[in-house]
Structure 1
């Protein structure tokens, strides 16, 4: 779907010129001739990018820009001002008003489109994260986003040691960030050894751009630095260098040498967007983790366990390996809830989960399937070894009673376990299972059933026991 761009300018010729420049960006263009009309259009359908031209009939472009940014509904809308004379003062004023960048009307089409591509990449990434976060939002994870405590860390990649140190010195007086500098060649050599900064400022000499562009490409290629904000500083205004830097992944470009005040304003905006994206990304990750994790015990839940078991069956089928599927159920758990309360029962479940997890290797799976029932999937060569693992789990649970925090109560707990071997069901796959159920998902379900039958046997034999399922007929 084409990006939606709103052009605002009171002079129709300017709107037409901007629309022509944007033709190569394959965007859907909408136009407004006044600030009032623009605000109405924003309320009706928020665009992906706002391009402000010359002063409007009802207010200045800077006033409109600031007014838009004050509205929380529009706070993340990217804004370009294309009406300035290209002076430093105009750029500073535009950045202070909340614009992402400012250009003179005579800006080349290539430079303008490169900047728009850079802005839209960031915009699309943010929107994707926001939609994923909203779609996956769970109760308890919808709290307001909290700010970061630590100051942002900024790495200055100067073309020389002296350059980086001087830029650090100038920035240190006006930004609250942690700053350090390192020459370009050293950064390329040491990238794998330092923690990723929040932002990187790269010095690009237009006569010799290779090192700077190579570092930029490397930053975007590495998982550890991919999300860092990047500001490229050109030593002179050069459209080709600007376009190359933006298309290789720079978030922003200082096009006419280093200026501490302008760099600080651009870094403020870039780091704010980066940290917002980090928070959204963490919320998405937390939501995904919560979707497959049991909140009481911290173990995986059934939603994660069943696909994992299917993959284990597929792997074992391919590699001719074996594994054990165990169902563990706490004995007489209802009595614990009835006598001591459900809060005590939760403590017992959490402690039993901790003890069993401690007995297993990192490659084994343990998941809470519901209530007081747990699934264990362990890689093992034979039923004897599987039985030893299950006995070890029983020992860990019964060894000592569970002490209730804040209450002088000790609750003895035991667990019964049923064991089924994956190889038995994989052998039966070719003969016993009907054609429609020969998938590894069906094998996983069948193994759960076999382990469950064995668990009933352990309960029938007096509990606190391990029972192996009988081989398939």
Structure 2
């Protein structure tokens, strides 16, 4: 569909363009009535929007001229104006304008479009890929054409096996399935199989069923279908249901990502990506409770980067931040995923070693000390002092007292010349 916008203001051209995009218009912009007449001779338009005041004519005069041609009596012509003079507005309607829209009330233009333009897929902002399990090639081809109008490409499968093979290699925004399939297969079986796998539990599924199969529709929903549509399928109903399913799923994805982002903000150090002090405390509560109950070994490392203030003073905080990031990467590489690594603040780090006794923890701390000395991030020589201690198996201990013991060992390492490991038994 084509729309003609006769508007001298680039700002309102952009505003009107954004408004018409959802209707899938091919938009032609001109800034004078003369250019508008020329465009109408060259193309057929389904909608015209004209400003009240142009360089050569008014919007009212433009309407009079168009309506006098006789061939454009049914063409919707809207005049956009900042005027509120009732007599002027009456003159515009008498001249043949379909409606008058004030510039401070442009949503009214969209309301008018809803009434004038037939419902269709151009209303929806959908893209992506759909899978349709359907044993009729004719039905599949017809549905493919409809989905293309929505902006969806479609893969077609004749059988459940073919559908599962396609799902192995493609990601789909939507899965559609007929309920009655060939070779005694059913869409119900397919839906159940999909929902049994974690990766498909959130994928929207639309069941397609016949009008008389009320029980099948209920069974489809109970099996995990998000919605159903009855045959014969009405285009606008199909478009609306697909739009609702995909939009809802995208909203869930967006909320999940936002929840994950907020969780990371609450648990991670923004500079290094390591856990923060608060999260370490939460993990430590669980780990110490488990270790005390089951008599499991548990060790703690407190790490302080030597003379880090000099790095900031000599090279600037920007370089200091890069050094900290590289040191954090080295910590992640050194320890396992079961170990909890946190930045406690500034240049101090803490590592909670899962099921690790004092002997192994001291050896790991020594390896780390040597590695950091060789690392030279940003070409800067670095070293670390490390205090090590372990949970006393003979008594019940908790994080605060074990941390205090490791911190005291760290202080001894720094007092003894730095770049070394000091272990403290309970």
Q: TM-score range by the shorter chain?
A: 0.5 to 0.7
Alignment pair present for 1:251 and 2:226: yes
Work out whether 1:461 is the aligned partner of 2:419. Answer: no
Rounded Cα–Cα distance in structure 1 between residues aligned with 2:191 and 2:368: 52
Structure 2 CA distance for aligned equivalents of residues 207 and 239 of structure 1:
20
The answer (yes or no) to whether the contact 2:120–2:236 under 8 Å persists in 1 is no
Larger-Rg structure: 2
Distance 1:350 1:224, change over 3 A: same
1:359 counterpart (334, 358, 365): 334
CA distance in 2, matches of 1:308, 1:324: 13
Please tell me the root mean square deviation across aligned C-alpha atoms, in Å.
3.4
2:386 maps to 1:417 = yes
The Cα offsets for residues 241-280 of structure 1, whole Å up to 9 and x where unpaired, read as 3333344443332212345564234323321222122112
* Distance (whole Å) between structure 2 residues aligned to residue 97 and residue 178 of structure 1: 17
Deviation at 1:382, TM superposition (A): 3.4
Aligned to 1:272: 247
Question: 1:357-402, CA deviations, whole angstroms, 9 ceiling, x for partnerless residues?
Answer: 2222233221111111111122355322211110111112111432
Q: Is the 8 A contact 1:156 1:167 kept in 2?
A: no
Which secondary structure state, in structure 1, belongs to the residue aligned with residue 398 of structure 2? helix
Is 1:448 the counterpart of 2:403? The answer is: yes
Q: CA deviation at 1:342?
A: 2.1
By relative contact order (CA 8 Å, sep 6+), the higher-ranking structure is 1
Select which of 295, 314, 327 maps to 1:339: 314
Aligned residue number for residue 329 of structure 1: 304
What is the rounded CA distance, in whole Å, between the counterparts of 2:298 and 2:153 in structure 1?
Answer: 51
CA contact (8 A) 1:368 1:374 kept: yes
| Equivalent position SS for 1:255 | strand
Q: Distance in 2 between matches of 1:161 and 1:457?
A: 79
Query: What is the total number of aligned residue pairs between the two structures?
Result: 313
| Counterparts in 2 of 1:383 and 1:97: CA distance versus 1, 3 Å | closer
CA distance in 2, matches of 1:195, 1:161: 22
TM-score (norm 1): 0.59
Q: What SS does the aligned partner of 2:211 have?
A: coil
Q: Are the equivalent residues in 2 in contact too, given 1:416–1:458 (CA < 8 A)?
A: yes
Deviations 1:225-247 (A, max 9, x none): 12212211113343333333344
Structure 2 residue 260 is the aligned partner of structure 1 residue 293: no
Gaps of 5+ in 1: 1-66, 72-91, 99-146, 404-409, 430-441
Structure 2 counterparts to residues 129-140 of structure 1, below 5 A? none
TM-score, with length taken from structure 2: 0.64
**Residue 179 of structure 1: how far off its partner (Å):** 1.4
**Partners in 2 of 1:367 and 1:163 — Cα distance?**
60
Superposed CA offset, 1:332-379 (max 9, x none):
222222333222221221111112222222332211111111111223
- Once the two structures are TM-superposed, the CA of residue 187 in structure 1 deviates from its matched residue by 5.9
Distance (Å, rounded) in 2 between the aligned partners of 1:400 and 1:222: 44
For structure 2, which runs of at least 5 residues remain unmatched after alignment? 1-106, 112-117
Q: 1:153 aligns with which of 129, 149, 164?
A: 129
The structure-2 alpha-carbon separation of the partners of 1:163 and 1:325, relative to structure 1 and needing over 3 Å to count, comes to: farther
- The CA distance in 2 between the partners of 1:189 and 1:200, in whole Å, is 11
Assess if the C-alpha contact under 8 Å between 2:179 and 2:209 holds in 1: yes
